Structure formats: structure tokens, C-alpha cells
Structure 1
């Protein structure tokens, strides 16, 4: 893949004697939603922490928007935004005040206008003057993602964006991510939820025990299976069946 916005080659990381990442390779192109799908402990958050300059790798080459993560961390940080597993809001401030604060910290012109536009975009206008601790889980997550867009970053990392949310709130966040993807934002999404990857991702990388086992679109992953058996209806394999079968094959080698 040429001109990748995110390029990861031979990425390795160990903590003490435990090897967490084992020569991970992948690329993400402009405007793509790329999902790292794996169970807890697979290494997803470690990858995000390295790509977002919070953690140094042991080996490997990583670049974001053509900037080297190790050699040009300040350039990388200006190109990205990160939404972690839990919302990072100031609960004492209103939704609007949270957005204005981040806009000022990022030295964006017209912070009030930026805040108002994002409140409208994320359907939070009616809750703009409520304190963030009064927001529902889905509203907090939408506000958190809205904050990550301030400054128009080229790449957004969403690390387990629906962790701890109820099904209704999860659907709200999915709709938000789909809107971002439709606007051309490049998104690296980590998730342990199979349906989330199936709903949101253009391509999916299955990460297991620190290695990427396979990467492809949902259609390409389904093609790894034998043709569907036609009984009364044609049944295609679900992403859950694909994921469990791939991991099972790998562990049996």
C-alpha cells in the first residue's frame, strides 16, 4: 500500500521478560477505518500507546503522516488525536466549557465557534450547558470524541471506544464513528467486540498474542472459509466464527 498514513513494520515490545508485541506489521491508508481486533491482553493498547508517542518500542519502524514516531514525536503529536478507553472529561465543566478548554489548549482560533459547531455536529446542543457529570455514558463518549476532533487531526486513535457502555450508548458511538469515517478522517480503532469491527471497519487485523494473524476486509476474511452450504438459506460465516476459527488454528500449530 503506497503513501500509507500509518506505517508499522517489525514492531516489537516487551515488558520485563514478557514479549507483548512480536514483529507487528500493518499499514493504514487515508480515510480508512482500520480495526485491530483482539481479546484483552492481545497488545492492542500497547500498539496505540507506541503510535501516539506515549511509549517507546523496542524494535521496528513506525511512521504517522510520514513522520517517524521515535525521531519526530512532536510532529506526530500535532497530526493525531487519541480517545482512550475512558472519557477524559472535566465533570465540573459543562459540555461546551470542556470543548472550549481543549480548543484554547490547542490554540485554535475562535474556540467558542468551534465548540458550538461540534455540539451541533454531535447532537449535544441541548446539553451544551449541562455539567459533564450529568451526561449519559453515550453522551460523554460523543463529547470525548468531539474533543478529539479539535484542531482537525489527520489521524484519530479510538482505543476500545465503547468499553463499559450499554447497548444503546454503544449504537450512539457507532453512529458517531461512521459519521467521522464518512468525512474522510483516518481512524485506527481497537476493539474486542466482534460486531463493532464488523459494523465499522474497512479492514480488520486480527491480533492474537502479540501477532497479527491475518488482515483483510470482512469479505476477504469470509473468503478464507469454504463456500457457504445452501440448505433452506445460504449461511455466511459471522466475524465471530472467523475470529475463533483463526485463533483456534493458530493455537493448534
Structure 2
């Protein structure tokens, strides 16, 4: 294991016109990350993802809990922990005035890299930045800046990289490009701890993930296992009688969930269940305006664990 964390907690106290408020951002989070895997922390905004990563990166101190990272105790050996990881925040940290080359070179020197020039050239090449190396940060696109930010986090060759919401604000093409870069990190042996609120990102990239909500872990496993745990397929019906429809099909389903005019029916085998389900609804005079058959998604997992969808909780998919 490259990360073993147990019982992490963090509470923040804020003062405003409304008085003193206490917010439990992280409530007993634990996670184990294997060497050479991409591990995701999925959840809505405000779920505690960033706070968890900042604690593990030694940027803030946990109120409780323990962690061993790359063989070093988080609380007793923070300097050693920092030497073994790279950290890329949501903001990225790319300066507007300095060139990519200058910024990466400075990071290499700060980390005490033996040959900063060679390490910088390798980082630029690795992330397809050589032709952009001498342009100031303000002239780079959002996707290019994210690649520079990751190069800054990896120039000293750490075995572990923390990526906090790495693709927020990127267009689909740049997101896909960055996904490929992250997969290449895993192939080269780098472990990646990635936080995201994008369902497709967690599903596409993560070997394993945990879903967090209100500072707690509500589910953990591979994306496939988590979806299989909920159900094999989900039939989504749109009707003006969702309650009556749910009562009609409950004998055919593992579970049903009503969300306004939508009824989600969770079944083991959607293709074989669907004809009987439609016959039952027709016999009861329940009319439908649309119907869809899909594999369960991570949003269905979040819904099953929390009672609401990830989108409803304040995260875009």
C-alpha cells in the first residue's frame, strides 16, 4: 500500500455576522491505495474531497486519525511524506508571467532534483509541452495549463500524485487528452489519488474509488463492483403516475425509486424484464412518455446510498 489512512477527521470554525459556525468537513474517512493504481474520491461539492486530500498532502493537520504514506507517518514525518508525493490543486498554481520551462525548472530546484535542466526537459516532453515551453502562462489554454500543473507536481519523480478536481472547467477534448495523460502515469508506475465530481471521469479512470457525502465514506470498491451491487440494469420511466407505476412493477424489481415524474426500476436483467414490465403497466392503464434501459451508473450508486442523485447534491456529471 502506498496510502493507508484511518479515521481522518477535520472540523473548521468560521466566524461571520451570523456568529460562530462549526463545520465537520471530514468525519472518520479511511482509505487504502495500492501502488500503481488510480484511486478516486467521488462526491458532490462540499463533500470533503479536497479537505481529505489536503490532509494527506500535509497542507492541513487532521484533528484525528492516522495515515502512513509511502512508508512514512503523516503526523510524525510530514517532510518525508512531502518528498514522496506531488500535489496539483484545483487552481493548478501556474503563474501568468513566467514560462512553463521556468516554472518547472524552479519546482525541480525546490525539490532538490540533482539535474534540474534534464528533469525539466523530460517533464516538458512527457506532457507534450516542449513547443510551448517558453510561452508565459497567461498565453496557455486551460488544458495546457493543467498539463503544466501536473508537470510541476511530477518533475521530482514522486511515486504518488494527488490530483484535486483535475479537469474542472476543461472542454471535452482537453478532458479526454488529460485522461490519457493520467492513464499514462499509472502505466509508468505512478500511483494517483484523484478527486472528482464527474461521474464519467470516475468511471473511466479509476481502478477503485470511494464515494463520499457530508464528510463520510458511503461506498467503496471498483466502479464495476459498485454498480453491480446496486443492480445489473436500470429502467427509467417517465410518467404522470410514478407512484402507481412503482406499485405496479414492484414484483418485477429489486428496487424502485421515484424522482418527480421519473421512476427508476432496478432489475437484474433489463432486456428480459422489460417486456413483462410494459405489459403490466399497460394492463393497469399507466401511460408512459419515455422509457430508457441502461446499465446502472455511479449516480445510481450514490442515489442508493444517500437517497439523492449526485446531480441533486450539487455536482455536474
* TM-score when normalising by structure 2: 0.74
Count of residues in Structure 1 that have an aligned counterpart in Structure 2: 247
Per the alignment, residue 284 of structure 2 pairs with none
Rounded Cα–Cα distance in structure 2 between residues aligned with 1:13 and 1:114: 36
Deviations 1:30-57 (A, max 9, x none): 0111000000110011111111111111
Q: CA RMSD in A?
A: 1.8
Per the alignment, residue 11 of structure 1 pairs with 8
- 1:234 Cα offset (Å): 7.4
Q: Which structure carries more relative contact order (alpha carbon 8 Å, separation 6+)?
A: 1
Does the 8 A contact of 2:230 with 2:304 survive in 1? no
Rounded Cα–Cα distance in structure 2 between residues aligned with 1:13 and 1:117: 38
Within the candidate set 217, 238, 241, 2:297 is matched to 238
SS in 1 for 2:120: helix
Per the alignment, residue 154 of structure 2 pairs with 149
Does the 8 A contact of 1:104 with 1:111 survive in 2? yes
Per the alignment, residue 205 of structure 1 pairs with 210
Per the alignment, residue 194 of structure 1 pairs with 199
Per the alignment, residue 263 of structure 2 pairs with none
Deviations 1:156-210 (A, max 9, x none): 1101111222222222211111111111111110011111101110001000111
Question: Would you tell me which structure has more strand in proportion to its own residues?
Answer: 2
* Structure 2: runs of 5+ lacking an equivalent: 14-21, 232-267, 275-291, 310-317
1:228 aligns with 2:269: yes
1:171 aligns with 2:176: yes
With 90-99 and 174-183 compared, the bigger mean Cα shift is at: 90-99
Rounded Cα–Cα distance in structure 1 between residues aligned with 2:59 and 2:32: 20
Query: Which protein shows a greater Rg?
Result: 2
- 1:109 Cα offset (Å): 2.1
Deviations 1:113-144 (A, max 9, x none): 22112211111111122122111100010011
Rounded Cα–Cα distance in structure 2 between residues aligned with 1:161 and 1:219: 22
Rounded Cα–Cα distance in structure 2 between residues aligned with 1:109 and 1:74: 18
* Structure 1: runs of 5+ lacking an equivalent: none
Does the 8 A contact of 2:119 with 2:156 survive in 1? no
Per the alignment, residue 307 of structure 2 pairs with 248
Rounded Cα–Cα distance in structure 2 between residues aligned with 1:45 and 1:109: 32
